[in-house]
Amino acid sequence: MRLCLGKWNFIIMGIAALMILVGFILMGGEPSTPEHFNPDVFSDTRVVYAPNICFFGYLLMIVGICVKSPRKNVTPEASAEADH
């Protein structure tokens, strides 16, 4: 049985998933309440860096899905035998 995606595709997608997770964690934090304003809501980490990390994680996920994984040179006869 041969998968459509190779080992490198799954490694790239794993790194992308970690980037997305880190971006969402960086966006989190204590919110402002009606009683207390939290100026950290508008920090550079939450407004600039975290969304960019998520965006590049999503782009890397697309690359991980679309890129053709490197395969060993296999002759047609050997691949036909492996399918049986």
Task: Express each pLDDT in 53-83 by its tens digit.
Answer: 999 999 999 999 998 877 666 566 655 555 5
Is pTM, for the whole model, over 0.85?
no
State phi, psi for 33 to the nearest 5 degrees: -120, 165
Query: Residues 27, 57: contact at Cβ < 8 Å?
Result: no
Q: Look at 6 and 78; give whichever has higher pLDDT.
A: 6
26, 27, 31, 36 alpha-carbon torsion, rounded to 10°: 70
Distances (CA, A) of 14 to 18, 30, 66: 6, 28, 14
pLDDT band at 1 (very low <50, low <70, confident <90, very high): low
pLDDT tens, position by position, 35-56: 898 888 889 989 999 999 999 9
State phi, psi for 16 to the nearest 5 degrees: -65, -40
Other C-beta atoms closer than 10 Å to the C-beta of 51 total 14
Query: Residues 46, 29: contact at Cβ < 8 Å?
Result: yes
